[in-house]
Amino acid sequence: MSHLDAAPPNTHAGGNDDALETKGANPMVAPYHSGDVTDERIDMTAYENSVPRWKRIYQNSFTQMVLLSIQAFCGPAMADAIAGLGGGGLATPQTSNIAVAINYAMLALVCLCGGPIVNKLGTKWALVIGAMSFPIRGSSYYVNSKFGVQWYLILGGFFTGIGSGAWYVAESGSIMSLAPSGSRGKYLAFWIVARNLGQLVGGAINLSKNHKKGAVGGVSPDTYVAFLIIECMALPFAFLISPLDRVVRSDGTRILMSEKLSTKQEFKRIRFTMTSKLIVLSALWAIWSFFYSGTWSTYLGTYFSVRARALSSLISPFFCIVGCFGLGFILDMKNMSQRRRAQIGLFTVVILNLGVYIWSIVMQVRFNEHKPGKIDWDDSLYAKSFLPYFFVQTTGPLSQSYMYWLLSSFATDAQSNVRNGAAFRCLEAVGQAISYGMNTQIKTSPLIGFCVTFGLMGAALYPMLVLVNQTPDRIPADVIAEEQEAAEGKGVGRTVVDADTKGA
């Protein structure tokens, strides 16, 4: 960790602990003091005797992850389901690609400044703002499909990008902070699965409304009404989110919080975070990780019938659920060091994506030679032309889940997780904006998009190898806490040992 300036100052990983403290002190907490540092741990017996059961359940880290996942189900998952229709389900993908490109451009801008914004607002209110913007997407697609009003679709992309940016930054910081050290892979898998369950529901809606053979053009406008209703449901769950300083993890630990900084200081941290080795080395990976979405949306809209596109949005998430829990199992294995798990996880993700990209490029070359027309699900060509799309809906999310796990291996408090998550999400959004913008100009063949995506993965691999090979064998916060306790010669409360790294 000493080789990476990954975490900002005032965090354990940053090496300046003078301001580090745990907010929201609780009489049931047994604090450990080392100089000006307070590392608080819950006395679980006293906590259970003094705090009502409903409140313990509400403040539990898994409950908070469930509330976040429900919002992901209602918001980003519905957006993914619309994207899964190919070109947003519209008759031609170009207008949708323009709107989505604008959406991600604004999302990238908000994410760039998102760390300071979310750390000042708090995760709860950033999530509320984001949840309020979700219904704009469904309503804009409905208005465009029903009345042909394209300006609202594009304007909606602008405002949804702003709201979603705030939501994504708060979400990324939360999902990297909530999980107990030995369960980060499983927590991230649960979050990804919730998003894919949302796509399953969205896919069922798509298919129920657009299952008739021979339909041409865009999907039924009623499809978007169902999405709009689900998107509206995210807001009440955003209000239920607990501030991170009140959350108690399932293993009895609390989330470390640095002292609050001024707005000027927070914005100064943007430069520090964006130029840290952690973000610089992962930048190309971040740009690549979602780059595939624009090209695959165009591919689906160009070559598949309405009902085949509807079916794709239903069945595409199935394998992702299995894959994400499989990766989570690898990343949480207790008989290997954290670095070794990071290396195995990286090669797993890369090899799976490599196979999908080779397959997709081969299929697209064949399509360029022999135009297939609109492929329906009962055509002989359907299986081999659809399966690359089916698998990329698993390998793509795996790359994102893996990266959030890796980021959380370096940062040690909620604020630095927010900053690092915001920086990574900003770069992801830049990649998505470029991808969809590029595909607005691709009228006949997504081959260029496939090749660019493949090339980006190759370019991202070496910096990621450098980063992964410098992954600490244990989470730095746990090591430092143990060293401080040993130096003081006392261990008040619970000593937290990283269950991830036993046997490292």
d(CA 7, CA 411): 5
User: 300 and 374 in contact (C-beta within 8 Å)?
Assistant: no
160 CB-contact burial (10 Å; exposed 0-12 / middle 13-18 / buried 19+) = buried
Neighbours of 303 (CB within 10 A): 23
Torsion over CA: 330, 335, 337, 340 (sign) = negative
DSSP 268-288: HHHHHHHTSHHHHHHHHHHHH
- What are residue 240's phi and psi, to 5 degrees? -85, -5
SS (H, E, C) 109-171: HHHHCHHHHHHHHCHHHHHHHHHHHHHHHHHHHHHHHHHCCHHHHHHHHHHHHHHHHHHHHHH
Q: Which two tokens stand for residue 73?
A: 């189900």
Residue partners of 107: CB distance under 8 A and separation at least 6: 161, 162, 164, 165, 168, 425, 429, 432, 433
Buried/exposed 125-134: b ≥16 CB within 10 Å, e otherwise: bbbbbbbbbb
Strands (E), 300-440: none
The token pair at 29 is: 């907490």
Partners of 40 in the β-ladder: 31
Q: Which residues share a beta bridge with 260?
A: none
Cα angle, residue 326 at apex, residues 81 and 464 outer, rounded to 5°? 85
Q: State residue 283's pLDDT score.
A: 94
pLDDT at 1: 40
Torsion angles phi and psi, residue 24, rounded to 5: 70, 50
Which H helix or E strand runs over 40?
strand 37-42
Check if the beta carbon of residue 22 is closer than 8 Å to that of residue 257.
yes
Supply the pLDDT for residue 135. Answer: 95
Is the CATH code 3.40.50.1110 the one for domain 60-255+275-478?
no
Both tokens assigned to 474:
């244990």
Query: What are the phi and psi torsion angles at 217 (to 5°)?
Result: 85, -140
pLDDT of residue 148: 81
| CB-based contact 289:404 (threshold 8 Å) | no
Q: What is the pLDDT of residue 349?
A: 94
Measure the CA–CA gap between 174 and 489, rounded to whole angstroms. 33
Which among 447, 148, 138, 142 has a CA at the least distance from the CA of 303?
447
Q: CA-CA distance, 17 to 19, in Å (whole number)? A: 6
The confidence score (pLDDT) of residue 459 equals 96
pLDDT digit of tens for each residue in the chain (504 aa)? 434 443 333 333 333 333 333 334 443 343 333 333 333 456 778 888 888 999 999 999 999 999 999 999 899 888 877 776 655 656 456 777 788 889 888 988 998 887 788 878 888 999 999 999 999 988 988 888 888 888 898 899 999 999 999 998 898 888 888 888 778 888 888 887 787 776 677 677 767 766 666 555 566 788 788 889 999 999 999 999 998 888 988 777 787 776 777 777 878 888 888 888 999 999 999 999 888 877 887 788 788 887 887 777 777 777 887 888 888 888 888 888 889 999 999 999 999 999 999 998 998 898 888 888 888 888 888 888 888 888 888 888 889 889 988 988 886 666 777 888 888 888 988 888 888 777 766 555 788 888 989 999 999 999 999 999 998 877 665 565 556 556 655 544 443 333 333 333
Helix, strand or coil, per DSSP, at residue 377: coil
Are the CB atoms for 26 and 37 separated by under 8 Å? no
Q: How far apart are the first and last CA of the chain?
A: 16
- Cα separation, 323 vs 201, in Å, equals 19
For 174, counting Cβ atoms within 10 Å of its Cβ (0-12 exposed, 13-18 middle, 19+ buried), the class is: buried
**Helices 114-121, 150-178: crossing angle, 10 deg rounding:** 70
- CA-nearest of 170, 172, 191, 202 to 79 is 202
